[in-house]
Amino acid sequence: MATREAFLAKVRAAQPPATTRPDVPLFDSPGGDPRARFTAALQLMGGTCIEAASASDVTALIRERFGASASIASATAEVPGTRAISANTEPISLQDIDVGVVRARFGVAETGSVWFSEREYVVNALGYIVQHLVVLLDPSQLLDGLQDVYRRDDFRDARYAALVTGPSATADIEGVLIRGAQGVRSLTVVWIAA
């Protein structure tokens, strides 16, 4: 047996047996408008919420905020990109993209987070390697809290999932907040029905 196969056989043999997930209690909702709670939580984390009536409004918004020459990789057919992406796109090829566009499956009012899986991102690196991320979110797809995410079938069935709350940031060097240190410099959630 080759070294690679021997190594993989050892890894497979060392896997713990499958267990069921623990029950997560449902906590009381603080109440109030979920959309207002989502917006406040996202803004606290450095993100922005904007209303749009149509996909063409989103394209105009991108041009207005990031410039007419901004390169765009879109993971949704709703908003055209300047560069096409597919599941076969090499992640490194997105390194020069200014704006990534993706539709979130749902949002979480408690934290201002948006949820993506490999299906939404198409190329997982899209959410991390581009300069700015524009997220389309249907207001009817807001969950109250994180415990609600755990109960969704799409959460359990995803091979990869990410809850994203605001742009990348760090303040570990002299306590100075720097946005975009390890990922996107800005995150804009656009309220637009699916």
**Which 3 state secondary structure label does DSSP give 172?**
coil
Is 2 a domain residue?
no
Q: What is the pTM of this model?
A: 0.86
Number of structural domains found in the chain: 1
Strand pairing partners for 170? 178
**Each residue of 10-44: pLDDT tens digit?**
998 998 888 887 888 888 888 899 999 999 999 99
CATH number (domain holding residue 100): 3.40.50.10420
Residue 66 · residue 137 · CB < 8 Å? no
Nearest to 148 by CA among 194, 110, 100: 110
pLDDT at 176: 79
Is 171 a domain residue?
yes
Is 7 a domain residue?
no
- Computed over every residue of the chain, the mean pLDDT equals 91
Is 83 a domain residue?
yes
**Each residue of 42-99: pLDDT tens digit?**
999 999 999 999 989 999 999 999 999 999 999 999 999 999 999 999 999 999 999 9
State the residue range of the domain holding 65: 32-191
Rounded average pLDDT over 129-146: 96
